[in-house]
Amino acid sequence: MNISSGLILLTYKGKILLTHKNTNPTLPNFWSFLGLKSAEKETSVKLKSVELLESDSYKSGDSFYHATLSDDNVNNIKRNEGQTLNFFTLKEIKKLSLTTIAQEFLEKHEDFLQNNQN
């Protein structure tokens, strides 16, 4: 399992945390999941419990993980310069420009995401 390239689905009260880095205005702004290894560094959130959702099943070799954020996590989120973090419902996410792997994950796991909206 390639943990260093894993992505993490972070959920909070039925919403999903996505990021996009707008450091280069000439590149498209695609929303994506945070990397597992970089999630704590990029948000200052301390993840207590992480579950593996899917292992190495994408062309990129990425694995997907899931963690539920607490009120304390959300109240202490920090953003890096040029980074936007936002929570979205599944319905809102479907209207966003997503990275290819985020789109693949959403299509493949819509039931899981729908169940986490409650």
Contacting residues for 66 by C-beta, under 8 A, at least 6 apart:
8, 9, 10, 11, 50, 51, 53, 116
For domain 3-111, which CATH number applies: 3.40.1160.10, 3.40.50.300, 3.90.79.10, 3.40.50.970? Answer: 3.90.79.10
pLDDT digits (tens, 9 = 90+) for 29-51: 789 999 888 888 888 888 888 99
Q: What is the pLDDT of residue 83?
A: 84
Contacting residues for 5 by C-beta, under 8 A, at least 6 apart:
35, 60, 61, 62, 63
At 61, the pLDDT band (50, 70, 90 cuts) reads low
Q: Looking at per-residue confidence, does 3 or 73 come out higher? A: 73
For the segment 102-109, the average pLDDT, to the nearest whole number, is: 86
pTM attached to this predicted model? 0.85
Q: How far apart are CA 103 and CA 80, in angstroms?
A: 24
> How many CB atoms neighbour CB 45 within 10 A?
21
> What is the phi/psi pair of residue 78, to 5°?
-120, 150
Q: How far apart are CA 38 and CA 8, in angstroms?
A: 10
In this model, does residue 2 exceed pLDDT 70?
no
